[in-house]
Amino acid sequence: MSVTTRQIAWLAGFLEGEGYFGQPHNPLFFAADSTDRDVIGQMARLLGVKVYGPYTNGTSKNGTPHKLKYRAQVNGKTAAGWMMTLYPLLGTRRREQVASCLHAWRERPIFRGDRTCCPKGHPLSGENLYVNRRGQRSCRQCQSRSARLERKLAEQTGIAGNKTDGTECAAASK
């Protein structure tokens, strides 16, 4: 879906009044809550996220329940991109919140799933990328080097590593 300049301006205005920007632990996010499901729905469609809710928001002092509210939220890299897009359209206070969030997000450690290179600098893509059954990514070059070093060490020490032919166990039991 292509987004128009008018929709971006609408989103900036809506978030200026109803939104909040944060980084609670590691995932960067922004969200808005509203009692108007259609407005939250418009935000959710624009951002490609779902509407959460309805939620209750407690009761007033006289015991009457508050209106039900709905939420739309954007996380991670997508939130960062939208924050940078919306930044020039926001007021001073929201700009400070966005700048603070983006600074903290940029300074956070990169998680393994976000890395484009292994610790040795080899690319984690194409033929060099290995993904195991559990979805963990690793570098084929580093795996090959490690296996070669293990074989060399096994040859030098006479220890066969994890692979045995059973003779070690038979000799130990005598």
Instruction: Give me the pLDDT at residue 46, please.
Output: 96
Q: Which of 89, 108, 127 is the last residue of a domain?
A: 108
Q: Please tell me the distance from the alpha carbon of residue 20 to that of residue 83, in angstroms, as a whole number.
A: 11
Same domain, 66 and 104: yes
Claim to verify: residue 103 and residue 114 sit in the same structural domain: no
- Which alpha helices (H) appear in 19-139, and where do they start and end? 37-47, 76-86, 92-107
Shared domain for 81 and 119, answered yes or no, is no
172 pLDDT tier (thresholds 50, 70, 90): very low
Domain assignment of residue 139, yes or no: yes
Is residue 37 located within the same domain as residue 85?
Answer: yes
- Write out the residue range of the structural domain in which residue 28 sits: 5-108
Convert the pLDDT of each residue in 96-153 to its tens digit: 999 999 998 888 766 656 678 888 888 888 888 888 887 778 889 998 998 898 888 8
User: Binning pLDDT at 50, 70 and 90, where does residue 86 land?
Assistant: very high
Same domain, 23 and 10: yes
Residue 31 and residue 15 share a domain: yes
Does 170 map to a domain?
no
5-54 per-position pLDDT tens digit: 999 999 999 999 999 998 766 668 999 999 999 999 999 999 999 999 99
CA-CA-CA-CA torsion for 97, 98, 100, 105, nearest 10 degrees?
Answer: 140
For position 42, which CATH number holds?
Answer: 3.10.28.10
Task: Report the pLDDT value the prediction gives residue 160, as an integer from 0 to 100.
Answer: 62
Give how many domains the chain has, as a whole number.
2
**Based on the domain organization, do 87 and 21 belong to the same domain?**
yes
Whether residue 165 is contained in a domain is answered as: no
Looking at the fold, whether 32 and 91 belong to one and the same domain comes out as yes
Q: Based on the fold, state whether residues 55 and 126 are members of the same structural domain.
A: no
Tell me how far apart the alpha carbons of residues 52 and 129 are, in angstroms, rounded to a whole number. 37
- Most distant pair of Cα atoms in the chain: their distance: 85
Q: Which of 27-41, 83-97, 153-167 has the lowest mean pLDDT?
A: 153-167
